[in-house]
């Protein structure tokens, strides 16, 4: 059994069934991409795994813990982190504070109101390291909400990875970026997820085939294929359902 296992996961919103029986097993260290047409339920699947939504039926297991009924913060504490499709940062705090907050729980500070963070050398150093990694060291004291878009995306990623989670889920990490920004972002993702497990949703097929070891194709709430990139490219069902137009220009 891998690090994350979904078993027959269903999710209904009212009458509508969005996720219709997804089972998936993700290995430790795997780089896994989820692709599929708009409205297939990719983001919903992310929300279910990360605890934002509750599953209707089915189980989700992360490192031998059943997490389908856990809250986002409980899931996060187990070492599962995620980023968001729409930039989701702490806009009124500066860049350094954003990252340092993301480090607090994993550094064991919990809800402490007796530690003064200014004098905690280790966490401050660690936060600067993360800033260095994501290329925002010279913006440390800049208000996060006033960063340029690509920089906000980098910060988004920094917040997600800062806590040292083992499983990182990225929801369209390069959406809305220019070509050169996207290629920088891919390098960055490769660097910060080295040795970790990665699940990502992405529309840009070049990036998907570049980064992923394995790809799952989600169509109308069901996984119709889950395989190595080259096999996915060759799969006729996938071609028909989704890759058709993309495959021809790729």
Q: Which is nearer to another protein, 159 or 205 (CB)?
A: 159
Residue 85 binds to another protein (criterion: CB under 8 A)? no
Q: Binding another protein by CB under 8 A: which of 10, 20, 63, 115?
A: 115
Q: Binding another protein by CB under 8 A: which of 1, 38, 118, 236?
A: 118
Cα gap 173→37, rounded to integer Å:
17
Return the residues of window 160-179 that contact another protein according to CB under 8 A: 160, 162-163
Q: What is the secondary structure of 88-144 as a DSSP string? A: ---TTSBHHHHHHHHHHTTTT-TT-SS--GGG-HHHHHHHHHHHHHTT-GGGTTSBG
Q: Binding another protein by CB under 8 A: which of 58, 59, 61, 101?
A: 101
Residue 128 binds to another protein (criterion: CB under 8 A)? no
Residue range at the interface with another protein (CB under 8 A); choices 8-16, 29-37, 54-62, 102-110: 102-110
Cα gap 161→41, rounded to integer Å:
24
Token pair in block for residue 209: 């085939």
Cα gap 29→26, rounded to integer Å:
9
Q: Which is nearer to another protein, 169 or 232 (CB)?
A: 169
Closest to 56 measured CA to CA, from 18, 2, 101, 100: 18
Q: Binding another protein by CB under 8 A: which of 43, 44, 50, 226?
A: 50
Token pair in block for residue 170: 């990225």
Q: What is the secondary structure of 136-175 as a DSSP string? A: -GGGTTSBGGGS-HHHHHHHHHHHHHHT--SEEEEESTTT
Q: 208 and 182 in contact (C-beta within 8 Å)?
A: no
Q: Binding another protein by CB under 8 A: which of 57, 69, 91, 191?
A: 91
Residue 226 binds to another protein (criterion: CB under 8 A)? no
Least Cβ distance, residue 114 to another protein (angstroms):
7
Residue 100 binds to another protein (criterion: CB under 8 A)? yes
Would you tell me which residues interact with another protein (CB under 8 A)?
50-52, 71-73, 76-77, 81-82, 84, 88-93, 97-98, 100-102, 104-106, 109-118, 159-160, 162-163
């Amino acid at each position: 059994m891998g690090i994350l296992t979904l078993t027959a996961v269903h999710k209904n919103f009212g009458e509508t069934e969005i996720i219709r029986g997804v089972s998936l097993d993700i290995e430790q260290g795997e780089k896994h991409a989820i692709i599929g047409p708009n409205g297939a339920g990719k983001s919903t699947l992310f929300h279910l795994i990360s605890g934002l939504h509750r599953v209707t039926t089915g189980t989700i297991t992360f490192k031998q813990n059943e997490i389908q009924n856990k809250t986002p913060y409980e899931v996060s504490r187990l070492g599962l982190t995620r980023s968001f499709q729409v930039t989701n940062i702490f806009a009124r705090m500066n860049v350094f504070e954003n990252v340092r907050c993301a480090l607090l729980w994993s550094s064991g500070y919990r809800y402490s109101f007796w530690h003064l963070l200014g004098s905690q050398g280790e966490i401050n150093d660690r936060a600067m390291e993360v800033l260095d990694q994501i290329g925002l060291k010279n913006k440390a004291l800049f208000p996060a909400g006033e960063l340029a878009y690509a920089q906000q995306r980098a910060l988004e990623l920094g917040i997600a990875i800062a806590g040292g989670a083992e499983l990182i889920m990225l929801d369209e990490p390069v959406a809305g970026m220019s070509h050169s920004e996207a290629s920088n972002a891919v390098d960055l993702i490769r660097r910060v997820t080295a040795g970790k497990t990665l699940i990502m949703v992405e529309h840009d097929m070049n990036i998907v085939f570049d980064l992923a070891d394995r790809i799952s194709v989600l169509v109308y709430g069901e996984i119709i294929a889950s395989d190595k990139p080259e096999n996915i490219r060759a799969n006729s069902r996938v071609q028909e359902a989704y890759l058709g137009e993309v495959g021809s220009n790729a």
